[in-house]
Amino acid sequence: MLSLIRRHRYPCFLLCLLLATTPCWISAQSQNNSPKTQLRVALFPYIPDILGDNFQAMLRRIEQEFEVKNPTIDLVLKPLDKKDDFYDAETLTKWLTTAPADGGYDMVEVDTVVLGELTAANLVSPWDTPPGVSDWHPAGRSGVSINGTVYGVPHWLCGHFIFSRDKRVAKAKTAAKLLAALDKADPKVPNLAGNLLGSWNMPALYLDAWADTHGTGDVGSAITPLLDPKVMRWFKQFSKQCETGGKNPCIDGEFDDDENEKAPQQFALGKVDAFL
C-alpha cells in the first residue's frame, strides 16, 4: 500500500500524506515569463522497468501530462533508482526537511509501513477532510490511519494474484479447490512458480492464508509468534506446488532474484501451470 508524502499545505495534486513543515516554494520562469512553482517529487522506485530504459519514458510522460493539467507547476521528478532506500526513515526525513533548492523534495511517495516513524518524527500532520473516503478500501483506510486519525490518501493497495491459462484455476475460491485445479493442469510441468521468501511475501501470504481460514473479521490477531496449525497446513501444501526434481525454487531462493523476473518468465515460457 503506497501513499505520497508532502511537506506543504497547498491543494493536493497527487495522492499524498500531509506533512507538518514550512512551505518552501521555488519559482521558475516559463517561456511567456509568467512565474511557475517548482514541485520536486521522489517517486517510489521498486516497480518493474518494463521498457528497460531506466523509467525515462514513464517519467517524461508523468511530467508532461501533469504540467498540461497544472500549467502553473514545473514538475521535477527524481530519477528512479532502486538503490535508494525508501524504507529508511533517516533518508526520508532528510529529503523532506532539506530545502528543495539544496536537494530536498516537496513530496515523497512511500510505503505506509513507515507512516508510524514519519508521524513520530513530526513530519506528518493529520488530514482533516481527506477526499473520497467513502470509496476507500477498508484495508487502505487502515493503512493510512493511526489511532483512528487519517494521515493520508491510499492509492496503491498491494495484493497477491495467481495467473493461469486454465479456467479451473481462475474459478477456484478455496485452497483445496485451487490445489485440485492445479493438479488437473499440464502434468508435464510444475504447478506453480513464485517467490515465497522475503520480509514482505512470506508474512503477507501467511496473513492471506489466515484470512482464508478464519475470515477477515479479526485478522489482526494473526500477528503473533505462534503460527496457526490450520493455516500452516494449507500454506505448506500450497508451497509444495512449486516442487520439481526434488527442489523447490519458490523457497530455496532461485525465484528470489533482484528483478523478480525468473518466476514470471517460467510462466511466460509455458514451463509452469501458474504464476504467483
Do 145 and 228 fall within a single domain? no
For residue 36, the enclosing domain spans 2-150
Do 248 and 168 fall within a single domain? yes
Does any domain span residue 70?
yes
Last residue in a domain, options 122, 150, 178: 150
Beta strands in 20-122 (DSSP E): 26-29, 35-42, 73-77, 107-111
Do 145 and 177 fall within a single domain? no
Last residue in a domain, options 150, 171, 196: 150
Q: What is the pLDDT of residue 240?
A: 92
Q: What is the pLDDT of residue 159?
A: 80
Q: What is the pLDDT of residue 33?
A: 61
3-state secondary structure of 187: coil
**What does the buried/exposed string (b/e) look like for 17-44 if buried means 16 or more CB atoms within 10 Å of the residue's CB?**
bbbebeeeeeeeeeeeeeebeebbbbbb
Give the strand pairing for 2-6 and 107-111: antiparallel
Does any domain span residue 200?
yes
Do 176 and 123 fall within a single domain? no
Do 128 and 173 fall within a single domain? no
**Structural domain total, the chain:** 2
Q: What is the pLDDT of residue 258?
A: 66
Q: Which residues pair with 3 in a beta bridge?
A: 110
Q: What is the pLDDT of residue 259?
A: 67
Low-confidence ranges of the chain (pLDDT < 50): 1-30
Residue 188 near residue 172 (C-beta atoms within 8 A): no
Does any domain span residue 158?
no
Last residue in a domain, options 150, 180, 207: 150
Do 59 and 114 fall within a single domain? yes
Do 9 and 145 fall within a single domain? yes
Q: What is the pLDDT of residue 142?
A: 87
Q: What is the pLDDT of residue 29?
A: 42
Q: What is the pLDDT of residue 51?
A: 85
Does any domain span residue 72?
yes
Distances (CA, A) of 104 to 53, 61, 160: 25, 23, 34
Does any domain span residue 241?
yes
pLDDT tens per residue, range 36-95: 899 999 999 988 787 889 999 999 999 999 999 999 999 999 999 988 999 888 899 999
Does any domain span residue 155?
no
Do 167 and 146 fall within a single domain? no
Q: What is the pLDDT of residue 180?
A: 93
Do 190 and 253 fall within a single domain? yes
Q: What is the pLDDT of residue 16?
A: 46
Do 136 and 189 fall within a single domain? no
Q: What is the dihedral of CA 48, 51, 54, 57, to 10 degrees?
A: -110
pLDDT tens per residue, range 30-42: 455 668 899 999 9
Place of cell 486519525: 149
Does any domain span residue 181?
yes
Running DSSP on this structure, what letter comes out for residue 247?
B
Does any domain span residue 125?
yes
Using CA atoms, how far apart are residues 109 and 123, in angstroms rounded to an integer?
Answer: 14
Do 132 and 178 fall within a single domain? no
Using CA atoms, how far apart are residues 267 and 193, in angstroms rounded to an integer?
Answer: 7
Helices 175-184 + 229-239 axis angle, to 10: 20
Do 171 and 270 fall within a single domain? yes
